[in-house]
Copies of this chain bind each other. A is one copy, B any other.
């Protein structure tokens, strides 16, 4: 069995739904479909989710809701009418209008419920649509699909003890359409993920039914090996491992939610990124590490906005627990570091610049001075981190040599180099001004024959 998730743009119009139908019809293993709420049809279009947020606001502030209700209903009508789904539209209309009757004492719950209705109504719609096209389909609630979540202020948390589906559901010869983006906690509370969370819903269902494959249909053909805005005709990746995908997370690879891969990662289920608008393209397969067939450098990720705080103290390495004391102070300041390379008498903290206001930075430096009695502190802003990623790096003599050579002949000074923590990546710290040149140099070295 396969789980297929269709994002907002894939279900934004009846034309898009036709493509979804074709995709599902082409493979009878696609029996669990997760849908987002209808997204944008063109660049200035408004997503249903955003309309619903506006709708909730109007309700909470006792403003008129007529206009926004109409805008929402029009989006559904634009799909239902040409598809001949008048009955379904009637049900959706009632559901949308009923939202005004929700108690408004729990503001967060109001927003969550309004937003979740976008996916919920759309799952009903898509099920009806597929049925009308000859694929017997039924709406399946997140609860029936075994999704159990935990509430958290920053978006629902995955409860890893996901549930198996009932044998009756599994046995029934229908295609199930499940709303993404939300679910319920054990005690019945509605929980929503942060934006893009339908990816997580699909991943959870894939794990729950022990799917053979989780297909994530989006609007790009595949994942690029580098930033396509920087590299003309940048090649896409046929496959990469979960580990590689994570190491590439620094940039340009934001196709999937980080959390979205957790359930499939732990359930050892491959994930494929495909394009609803070009389903014949093979897409990018994300494989459990052990399934990787190609051992090579797969990608280059880069991100700017890093700061390096360099601490030096004579005989530092004779001082027990110096690094620990450094991290105690970071924790005290609620700061997170990305890398902490150390020499004999020095240690560097490479961290996201946006955490450090000038005031925080000043107080942090002061604290390092007074608590750690360091001899020297140097702060370097505007660094970029570049990750060269690939299982091919493992035990591969010469990757570091080729990479540093490529940077060197392109006049890129390496401020930091970190290899060996991860077996599938090398990190380079360079000046932001050198970032693009560095990425191009590495691309030329490893991807151009």
A interface residues, Cβ below 8 angstroms from B: 242-243, 246-247, 249-250, 258-259, 261-262, 265-266, 308, 310, 312, 314-315, 317-318, 320-321, 323-324, 327-328, 330-331, 336-348, 387, 395, 397-398, 400-401, 404-405, 407-408, 411-427, 429
In whole angstroms, what is the CA distance A259 to B408 when docked? 38
- 17 residue pairs of the A-B complex, CB under 8 angstroms, read A246-B344, A258-B318, A265-B314, A321-B327, A339-B342, A340-B342, A341-B419, A342-B418, A343-B421, A343-B425, A346-B423, A397-B407, A397-B411, A400-B417, A401-B405, A401-B408, A418-B420
Q: Among the listed B262, B312, B344, which residue makes an inter-chain contact with A315, where contact means beta carbons less than 8 Å apart?
A: B262
Please determine whether B342 and A421 come into contact, CB atoms closer than 8 angstroms.
Answer: yes
A232 to chain B, nearest CB (A): 26
Chain B: minimal CB distance from A322 (Å): 9
Q: Is the CB of B429 within 8 A of A420?
A: yes
Contact B344 A323 (CB under 8 A): no
Contact A266 B314 (CB under 8 A): yes
A261 to chain B: which residues have CB within 8 Å? 314
**A421 B321 Cβ-Cβ under 8 A:** no
Determine which residue in A314, A343, A347 has the highest number of CB atoms from chain B within 10 A of its CB, and name it: A343
Interface contact A343-B247, CB-CB below 8 Å: yes
Ranked nearest first, the 9 interchain pairs of A and B with the lowest CB-CB distance are A343-B422, A416-B420, A341-B421, A401-B404, A417-B419, A401-B408, A324-B327, A398-B408, A400-B404
Given known pairs A420-B348, A429-B420, the reply for A342 and B338 (CB within 8 Å) is yes
Whether the Cβ atoms of B330 and A324 lie closer than 8 Å is yes
Chain B residues contacting A345 (CB-CB under 8 Å) are 243, 246-247, 422
Contact: B422 with A346, CB < 8 Å? yes
Q: Whose C-beta in chain B lies nearest to the C-beta of A407?
A: B401
Cα A341 to Cα B421 in complex, Å, equals: 5
Q: Which listed residue (B315, B341, B343, B347) contacts A259, Cβ 8 A?
A: B315
Q: Which of A318, A342, A415 has the most CB of B within 10 A?
A: A342
Knowing A324-B330, A425-B344, the reply to whether A397 touches B408 (Cβ < 8 A) is yes
Residue numbers in B under 8 Å from A308 (CB-CB): 420
> Chain B residues near A404 (CB, 8 Å)?
398, 400-401, 404-405
CB A399 to nearest CB in B, in angstroms, measures 9
Distance (Å) between the CB of A16 and the closest chain B CB?
32
Cα–Cα distance between A247 and B316 once the two chains are bound (Å):
11
Contacts of A243 in B (CB 8 A): 312, 345
Told that A400-B414, A417-B420 touch, could you supply 8 new A-B pairs with CB distance under 8 A?
Answer: A308-B420, A321-B331, A342-B418, A343-B427, A348-B421, A395-B413, A416-B420, A418-B419
| In the complex, residue of chain B having the shortest beta-carbon distance to the beta carbon of A334 | B320
Give complex CA distance A250, B398 in Å: 25
Please report the C-alpha to C-alpha distance between residue A424 and residue B343 in the assembled complex, in whole angstroms.
9
Chain B residues with Cβ below 8 Å from A338 are 317, 342
Q: Contacts of A312 on B, CB cut-off 8 Å?
A: 243, 422
* CB-nearest residue of chain B to A412: B397
A259 to chain B: closest residue by CB: B315
Q: In the complex, A310 Cα to B423 Cα: how many Å?
A: 10
Q: Is the CB of B344 within 8 A of A247?
A: yes
- Bound complex: CA A424 to CA B346 (Å): 10
Residues on the B chain within 8 Å of A429, using CB: 420
Contacts of A242 in B (CB 8 A): 314
For the complex, what is the distance from the CA of A242 to the CA of B423, rounded to whole Å?
A: 34
Q: Which residues of B contact A414 (CB under 8 A)?
A: 397, 400, 419-420
Complexed CA–CA distance, A429 and B265 (Å): 30
